[in-house]
Amino acid sequence: MAARWHIAGDYLETCSCDYLCPCIYTNATALPTKVYCVVSQAYHIASGHFDGTRLDGLTFVYAARTPEAMAKGNYAVGLIVDERADAAQRQALVAIARGEHGGPPATLRAVTSEFLGVEYAPVEFAGGGLHWSVTVPGRVDQAVAGFPSAAKPGEPLYIDNTRHRANARLALGKATRSHVHAFGLDWDDTGGENNGHFAPFDWRGG
């Protein structure tokens, strides 16, 4: 029987595509700009629960690789879970993130052909306004600067009505740094021209 759960907070990602990632505006049917894609997505939970287990303040991170257009699937995905979580919270976060109890993560599960495993590590998630970052020492280090809006100073440009599982409305940004070295996936960029997004997220399932 599926558990009832709800988590809400902030998400950010960087990927190996040049800005602006073609996956977003082609409904994931275009090839990534480097043919394949290495992507890291972090989800920081401001408030949440899983069948009565509180998940407030915890973070989990996906590291993934897709060999071609994302709509074709064949994702290889690894999961990093905040080591501050206790045993019950770890079990809950893995179940949610792996899509075992429905909600948006179930759509990722459906296109994943290789699950690379779960690791527990310290996760530092920070940000606000136009600048967001996440660090998992030795594994993930990424930061995004929102592309500033000329119409509304202090806010980023947005793209809306996407099929992205985090949020249909995403802030557009560039990765000021993007390093992934986890689960056999390796990507490094500090050129400032690769793609990034951030948005609030609000997921539920069960």
From first to last of its 206 residues, the chain has per-residue pLDDT tens of: 678 999 999 999 999 999 999 999 999 999 999 999 999 999 999 999 999 999 999 999 999 999 999 999 999 999 999 999 999 999 999 999 999 999 999 999 999 999 999 999 999 999 999 999 999 999 999 999 999 999 999 999 999 999 999 999 999 999 999 999 999 999 999 999 999 999 999 999 98
| Cα 75-79-85 angle, rounded to 5 deg | 160
Q: Which residues make Cβ contacts (< 8 Å) with residue 170, sequence separation at least 6? A: 24, 158, 159, 162, 164, 197, 198, 199
Q: Output the pLDDT for position 187.
A: 96
**For the chain, what is the domain count?**
1
Closest CA to 199 of 176, 173, 167: 167
Which SS3 state, helix, strand or coil, does residue 86 take? Answer: coil
Res 3: pLDDT: 83
Alpha carbon distance 34, 20 (integer Å): 13
Structural contact between residues 77 and 112, judged by C-beta atoms closer than 8 angstroms: yes
The percentage of the chain sitting over the pLDDT mark of 90, rounded to a whole number, equals: 98
Expressed as residue numbers, the domain containing 11 is: 5-205
Which residues lie below 8 Å from residue 95, measured CB to CB, with a gap of 6+?
Answer: 3, 50, 101
Cis peptide bond prior to 130, omega within 30° of 0: no
DSSP-based three-state secondary structure for 128: strand
What's the pTM value of the predicted model, to 2 decimals?
Answer: 0.97
Handedness of CA 91, 93, 98, 99 (dihedral sign): positive
DSSP annotation of 164 reads -
What pLDDT does 84 receive? 98
Cβ neighbours for 54, distance < 8 A, ≥ 6 positions apart: 48, 89
